[in-house]
Amino acid sequence: MRIRTQSTASRFRRTITWVSFAFGVLGLGAAALSISYFRNHPDVVAQKATTVMVVTSAAIGIGCGAYCIGALVSFLTGTTPRSMWLRVLFAPVSLVILFLFLPIALPFLYVTRVGFGSGKRASRWQKIPLLIFLEAVCLVVWTRGVTSLYDTVKYAFNFVNDRIAISGTGSMYPSFPKGHGKTLEELSREVVSTQGMMRYPTGFEFGGKRYFNYILGRGDIVSFINDKTRSITQEDIGTPTGFLKRTIALPGDTVEVRDGILFINNEPQREPYTARGRSTFGGSVLSDCTPLTVPDGKLFVMGDNRKGSLDSRHELGLVDFRDIDHVLPYQKQIGTLSNVWHDATNDLDPSQKISLDVEAYIDLLNAKRKEAGKAPFRLEVKLVVSAKKRGETMLKYDDFSFEATRSGFTQARAMEGSGYSNIVWGETYASGHYEAEELIDNQFAFPQSKAFLLNGQFQDIGIAEVDGVRHGCPTKIIVQHLAGYVPPNYTKEQIASWKSALGALGDVETGWNQLKSFQPFYEGNKDDVDRINDIIRTRISRIAQIVTRMEANGWLSREEQEWASQDVSLGNEFASIANRLNDRLSHR
């Protein structure tokens, strides 16, 4: 009879060593393939199954690879891992192996050490069905446990991706499409896309410092909400919400826009994600050619559709890091969003500048007015002249206020100088180079300019592009002058008052004129009698013309307005002379 010299424990150790070695090799291969796939397909980061596969494969590969190193050293040297460096290696590795191979080791150990309860030792082949069953059960339970642990860690450290709904306002075009709504409210409520974005911040905070946090970079797309976004969206669409913009400058960066080009720290930027090259111009917060240094804790953000985005250049201002809730890193936009970006190679070339097609712009504007139920604009040459004069004055005095506080050259003076007059008028301007559709997008992105252009009181329009220099850099502004006629719609009481005055003057005209026939009295009071009759004739003539204009519901001319204001003093003078003459007549 042959005697076995190896114990069951010795055989188990040898077997588990070679099994571990095999799984280590497979695990390393799976980890390498998974990581390679993960790097080449960043869009699947939000898919839970793929993420679990990558993390699990990498963990198996690292753990088993480390175990294999120790096993090979032990096998090749014929020694047990008793030296200090092997003990240090085996201490953490043993824990990893115990965790990773628990669903394999436990069923294997149970089947090799335990019989079937019959008192007979089962053969190897008889134990296979039980081993398969136990392996399956343990693997399912273990996998669910690992997945739950992974999810717990992921959510605890905020390593979570959410699907963010993108509205159709078009401020991030072309990265995200424009909507088809007719109004800003409709566009804001229209979802044109959803995008997986990472929650921000990530990691955990300890001792006043955050660990494992994603560091925001230029080009990252961020979503945020603060008091300013709530106020803007509440006013525009009736619902307070947040914004989605692109990170342009970080704390310490100096931002400047010059001649349609973005400069960061005095370096011109080629931006393939913008709707068009050389399309970045200033606003109320960051005007053209005025450098702005971003303070600590703040970000400077802009939309990709630079001429149709309300962002840090305008009343939105700088964004606080604490307001950001999601981020899409720039690198993860490559191969997905970048497919719709433009070639920015020649963006800095002066030939890329554009000019406005005025006729095309007015056609687009009239289409908007038609949708709003307003009459179309007529291009008025005299208003074109006044708009050009105003634009030249704005650039010369760096005075863009409607009241012309520096230059004193208001729109009213510009229209007067061009020979144009009307009842109501207004003015708007935009800085930069625009195509017709871009200017429409820009003007209608802001509620005030949109309401101004859709004002039904205006019928005439004049548009002028004016080039000049502002703050030492070339600048173009587009000035629009609007004007129109609105009927005065006088009340019945207003007309009746003037007609009553006219009737009263007619009643006394004959009597005062007859004083000239009383020669002794007339000779003694000639100046007063002539003057009172002259006042009566003047007032009757003027009031009759005013009444005619008012009954036709027409505005009084400037001369007629002067007559109306002078009538009060003439009436007072009439009453004074009449009292004096009546006193003299009564004492005769």
pLDDT one-digit tens code per residue, 170-211: 999 999 999 988 788 888 889 999 999 999 998 888 888 888
Q: What is the pLDDT of residue 105?
A: 55
What's the rounded Cα separation, in Å, for the pair 252 and 63? 43
Q: What is the pLDDT of residue 39?
A: 46
How far is residue 230 CA from its own chain's centroid?
13
pLDDT digits (tens, 9 = 90+) for 367-392: 999 999 999 999 999 999 999 999 99
Of 374, 391, 356, 365, nearest to 444 by C-alpha is: 365
Paired sense of beta strands 161-167 and 460-470, if any: unpaired
**Chain length of the chain:** 588
Q: Give the residue with greater pLDDT, 147 vs 111.
A: 147
CA angle 9, 11, 13 (to 5 degrees): 70
Of 284, 283, 262, 285, nearest to 272 by C-alpha is: 262
pLDDT reading at 81 higher than 50 = no
Tokens of 289: 């050619």
First to last CA, the chain: 173
Q: What is the pLDDT of residue 22?
A: 54
Q: What is the pLDDT of residue 107?
A: 56
DSSP, collapsed to helix, strand or coil, labels residue 161 as strand
What mean pLDDT comes out for the span 419-447? 89
| C-alpha pair distances (Å), 157 with each of 42, 150, 211 | 20, 11, 10
What's the rounded Cα separation, in Å, for the pair 364 and 306? 19
**Is there a contact between 66 and 93 (Cβ–Cβ < 8 Å)?**
yes
Residue 217 pLDDT class (50, 70, 90 cuts): very high
**Is there a contact between 173 and 304 (Cβ–Cβ < 8 Å)?**
yes
Task: Please state which of the ranges 100-104, 125-129, 452-456, 561-565 shows the lowest mean pLDDT.
Answer: 100-104
Q: Give the residue with greater pLDDT, 11 vs 250.
A: 250
pLDDT digits (tens, 9 = 90+) for 226-240: 999 999 999 888 889
Q: What is the pLDDT of residue 59?
A: 54
From the candidates 178, 245, 307, 332, give the one annotated as an active-site residue: 245
**Is there a contact between 197 and 160 (Cβ–Cβ < 8 Å)?**
no
| C-alpha pair distances (Å), 395 with each of 347, 398, 402, 405, 451 | 26, 5, 13, 13, 26
Q: What is the pLDDT of residue 441?
A: 84
pLDDT digits (tens, 9 = 90+) for 280-321: 988 889 988 889 999 999 999 999 999 889 999 999 999 999
Q: What is the pLDDT of residue 142?
A: 60
Q: Which amino acid is at 574?
A: F
* Residue carrying the six token digits 């990691």: 203
> Rg for the chain (alpha carbons), in Å?
43
**What percent of the chain has pLDDT above 90?**
52
What's the rounded Cα separation, in Å, for the pair 66 and 25? 11
Q: What is the pLDDT of residue 354?
A: 83
* Residue carrying the six token digits 């992105």: 445
Q: What is the pLDDT of residue 83?
A: 42
**What percent of the chain has pLDDT above 70?**
73
pLDDT digits (tens, 9 = 90+) for 539-588: 999 999 999 999 999 889 889 999 999 999 999 999 999 999 988 888 76
What mean pLDDT comes out for the span 87-91? 43
What's the rounded Cα separation, in Å, for the pair 293 and 249? 9
To the query of whether residue 154 is one of the catalytic residues in this protein, the response is no
Mean per-residue pLDDT of the chain? 81
To the query of whether residue 245 is one of the catalytic residues in this protein, the response is yes
pLDDT reading at 253 higher than 80 = yes
pLDDT reading at 502 higher than 60 = yes
Task: Please state which of the ranges 64-73, 278-287, 511-520 shows the lowest mean pLDDT.
Answer: 64-73
Of 470, 523, 563, nearest to 257 by C-alpha is: 470
What's the rounded Cα separation, in Å, for the pair 218 and 307? 20
How far is residue 462 CA from its own chain's centroid?
29
Q: Which residues contact 300 (CB under 8 A, 6 or more apart)?
A: 247, 248, 249, 253, 255, 292, 294, 312, 318, 319
pLDDT reading at 34 higher than 70 = no
pLDDT digits (tens, 9 = 90+) for 450-479: 999 999 999 999 999 999 887 788 888 999
Supply the DSSP string of 24-86, one letter for each residue.
Answer: HHHHHHHHHHHHHHHHH-GGGGG-HHHHHHHHHHHHHHHHHHHHHHHHHHHHHHT--S-SHHH
From the candidates 34, 57, 167, 171, give the one annotated as an active-site residue: 171
What mean pLDDT comes out for the span 329-355? 91
Residue 143 pLDDT class (50, 70, 90 cuts): low
What's the rounded Cα separation, in Å, for the pair 286 and 292? 7
Q: Give the residue with greater pLDDT, 578 vs 76.
A: 578
Q: What is the pLDDT of residue 301?
A: 98
What mean pLDDT comes out for the span 478-487? 94
Residue 49 pLDDT class (50, 70, 90 cuts): very low
pLDDT reading at 516 higher than 80 = yes
* Model confidence pTM above 0.75: no
- Evaluate the omega torsion of the peptide bond into residue 92 and state whether it is cis, within 30 degrees of 0: no
Tell whether the torsion through CA atoms of 387, 392, 394 and 395 is positive or negative. positive
